[in-house]
Structure 1
Amino acid sequence: MLYRNPSARNYSIPNASPLSSSIRNFHQKFFPSHTQTRLTSLPTIAEELCVAHVFLKNESCRFGLPAFKILGASWAIFSALAEKLKLDLNAYEMDLESFKGRLASMDEEEKVTLYTATDGNHGKAVAHIAKMLSLHAKVFVPEAVSETSRRHIQGEGAEVIIVHADYDETVQRAAKEAAENGGLLIQDTSWPGYEEVPKLIVQGYSTLFSEVADQLADQGISPSLIVVPVGVGSLAHSAVQFYRSGVLSSVSPPSILAVEPHTAACLNTSLHIGKNTPIQTSHTVMAGLNCGTVSHTAWPDLLSGVDLSIIVSDDEVSKAVEDLKVLGVRAGPCGAAPLAALRALPDGVLDPSTVVVLICTEGQI
């Protein structure tokens, strides 16, 4: 069911992204092989939908991993460790080797274990950063997470704990274990009492949107519609913060379209009700979007700053995966969901002047 908020483009979050340039500098220094991901034009899709341009931000290879999640995980882990270990440093002044040196100087009993829950890519990102920093990571996964995803997380050196429950319960299990064992919880969703790390993760995602802004500006083009997949809503929250902060003061802010699986539409449901409302979810090929509760800190900005919200079926997404493959984009189901959403929009939403950016969040594993 399509949700519309006609006033969303007028929503303003002053100074919501004051650190975006510093965070982008951090990513450039922390990852020696850093390159920005591609923004690919899809003229055949633009022609199909009768719009001016369709671009795809391809996060299928971000710092060697097949998804965007490492942007948030790296910034959050860096910032949280810096605070926990009382390191007096600024992100844009610290590269990976320097930070590892600071960590190595700590006594063994001071070293922390990273904890997280995941339905796929976030856990792998946390595990990857832990390996880079020679830290131990415990990653909790719902039983529905595929064996392939579990192996990829284990391949990063993390301990994987299978929880016979859904995503929401798995998150609470990880939080409980971290608290009981003095670990550092790196979770990409929030609830009352656990807010700071999720805020850091949302900040970390701003690098993606900063890159999009520069890549379009290089072509003299301004976006009019950003299409973002939603699980708990942290990436969409980053989009709202970036585009509603006035950072693109020279152009009109784009509309933001959120897309979810029809079996896990926690944001769409909540927007229609007007209250953050947990739901029961069921299986979807979009495993990374199979979440039943919108992040606590994201909800107010999503309620006010998201223009459109739509749900899509597994069949629609599977077709989008195949169509993108023909165009040379190996997107996973979550990454292809924005194209499915674009095609599902009713008449009148798009017009011949529309410039669309699809945020392809993951590649094929």
Structure 2
Amino acid sequence: MPSSRPPEPEQPRRYFNPAPQTIETTTEPGLLEFHRRLPGYAPTPLVPAPGLAAALGVRQAWVKDEAQRLGLPAYKILGASWATYRELGHRFGPFRPWNALDDLARQLSVHTLGAHAPLTLVAATDGNHGRAVARMARWLGLGAHIVVPQDMVPARREAIEGEGARVEVHPGSYDDAVLAAARLADDTHIVISDTAWDGYTRVPGWVIAGYSTIFQEMDAQLAALQAPQPDLVAVQMGVGSLAAAVIQHYRAPGRQTHVVGVEPTRADCVLRSLEAGALTGVPGPHSSIMAGLNCGNTSPLAWPLLQAGLSASVAIPDARAEQAMRLLSEDGVISGESGAAGAGGLLELLSGAQAGAARQALGLTAENSVLVISTEGATDPVAYARVVPGK
């Protein structure tokens, strides 16, 4: 149930877990090979960020730059594509072996002739997930119906429409859009959501699994550079699906990496849940510039992983995200407001007023290395030009 306590819009807040746990997980077979068969697949860059490292007072900072992923400006296509493929296979498969999406689309067309055709993929979004679902629908020759909150900036809405999707602007917040999308589900409308609710966990679980390609790439990239694994990873939290994937990878048996979750002060549902020891919502409006993180409720599927595996959680004001955008640009990374949030969280923890206590809690010294995931490029070019002038 939503908390009756209103959010504190611009006051940074933090939570430390004194005993983060190891997480037993399994890797879905064939996932990386599936992504490699998608049009334009290539590993995204792992970028050294000396400016960020200096600002954080650590030896090395790495940025996994997701500004160009399979032709889209964000990482979301990894989860959306895998979840769509698995859900279609669950409903209409099994499919014969295939090498290109055209072949898969032809098989799907044969499987769905008659009462099940035409099929439409449905999603709610603050921008990137919905565009990714719409792209997957276009690749497979399916329809797409994307529900967006009323405050979405025109550039993100137009990008979704550019994928051929029908965009429904729903009054209210992202959480209201999620409810509206869920109501559209029927035999011909398949909801591909990255958050879960009662009776709907299979697809969000596949979304989380799909993000693991990011970390398999990073392991290979670090190994090629003969660089050690990071001591700390910072990850953005909206509903918590990406953070859940980070925890599954970096808190697996044999790994000791700390995971720090970052969210806006205006939508800090994970941090409030951690404080309460139970899922706790944050009522809207959620008006952070970190639009992809403007979520008032944590996914109940991600929640157990977040509660067990996060070493710390920090809620940051918009100013920290803007500072991180400018700093990352100096290291050659174009990162949007949500994309830079992970770096912004580390700036708050490790250079803010209580940096000493945070370093002690995380066991972090000047000899350690950190990793942040820049989850998107400049998906709102007008806002990016305002925050990072001249870039």
TM-score grouping bracket, smaller chain normalisation: over 0.9
Once the two structures are superposed, the pairs formed by residues 112-131 of structure 1 within 5 Å of their partners are 112-131=119-138
The whole-number CA distance in structure 1 between the counterparts of 2:310 and 2:26 is 17
The whole-number CA distance in structure 1 between the counterparts of 2:331 and 2:248 is 31
The whole-number CA distance in structure 2 between the counterparts of 1:89 and 1:121 is 30
- The answer to whether structure 1 residue 134 and structure 2 residue 145 are counterparts is no
- Please tell me the residue identity of whatever aligns with 1:255: H
1:100 CA displacement:
1.4
- Aligned position for 1:48: 55
- Aligned position for 1:102: 107
8 Å contact from structure 1 (residues 17, 245) kept in 2: no
Q: Which runs of 5+ in 2 are unaligned?
A: 1-12, 350-354, 380-391
- Please tell me the residue identity of whatever aligns with 2:23: S
Residue-by-residue CA offset, 1:287-310 (whole Å, 9 max, x unaligned): 000000000111011100111100
8 Å contact from structure 2 (residues 50, 331) kept in 1: no
- The answer to whether structure 1 residue 257 and structure 2 residue 256 are counterparts is no
TM-score, normalization by structure 1: 0.93
- Please tell me the residue identity of whatever aligns with 1:69: K
Once the two structures are superposed, the pairs formed by residues 205-244 of structure 1 within 5 Å of their partners are 205-220=211-226, 221-244=228-251
- Aligned position for 1:355: 369
- The answer to whether structure 1 residue 17 and structure 2 residue 21 are counterparts is no
8 Å contact from structure 1 (residues 82, 89) kept in 2: no
- The answer to whether structure 1 residue 203 and structure 2 residue 209 are counterparts is yes
What is the SS of the residue equivalent to 1:334?
coil
Q: Which runs of 5+ in 1 are unaligned?
A: none
- The answer to whether structure 1 residue 309 and structure 2 residue 313 are counterparts is yes
- The answer to whether structure 1 residue 77 and structure 2 residue 84 are counterparts is yes
1:208 CA displacement:
0.6
What is the SS of the residue equivalent to 1:339?
helix
- Please tell me the residue identity of whatever aligns with 1:253: Q
The whole-number CA distance in structure 2 between the counterparts of 1:193 and 1:353 is 46
The whole-number CA distance in structure 2 between the counterparts of 1:136 and 1:189 is 21
- Please tell me the residue identity of whatever aligns with 2:266: T
- The answer to whether structure 1 residue 343 and structure 2 residue 351 are counterparts is no
- Aligned position for 1:321: 325
User: Which of 331, 336, 353 is equivalent to 1:332?
Assistant: 336
8 Å contact from structure 2 (residues 78, 211) kept in 1: yes
The whole-number CA distance in structure 1 between the counterparts of 2:314 and 2:46 is 23
Residue-by-residue CA offset, 1:127-153 (whole Å, 9 max, x unaligned): 011011110000000101112111110
Residue-by-residue CA offset, 1:41-86 (whole Å, 9 max, x unaligned): 0112212322111000000000000000000000000111111113
- Please tell me the residue identity of whatever aligns with 1:17: T
- Aligned position for 2:190: 184
1:108 CA displacement:
5.0
Larger deviation, residues 278-287 vs 34-43: 278-287
1:123 CA displacement:
0.3
The whole-number CA distance in structure 2 between the counterparts of 1:83 and 1:254 is 35
What is the SS of the residue equivalent to 1:116?
strand
The whole-number CA distance in structure 1 between the counterparts of 2:196 and 2:56 is 37
Residue-by-residue CA offset, 1:277-296 (whole Å, 9 max, x unaligned): 11113201000000000001
Once the two structures are superposed, the pairs formed by residues 268-307 of structure 1 within 5 Å of their partners are 268-281=271-284, 282-307=286-311
8 Å contact from structure 2 (residues 52, 327) kept in 1: no
Residue-by-residue CA offset, 1:188-221 (whole Å, 9 max, x unaligned): 0001110000000000001011111111122221
8 Å contact from structure 1 (residues 285, 333) kept in 2: yes
TM-score, normalization by structure 2: 0.87
Residue-by-residue CA offset, 1:82-126 (whole Å, 9 max, x unaligned): 111132457xx6531221120232415423211111011000000
The whole-number CA distance in structure 2 between the counterparts of 1:323 and 1:210 is 27
Identity %: 37
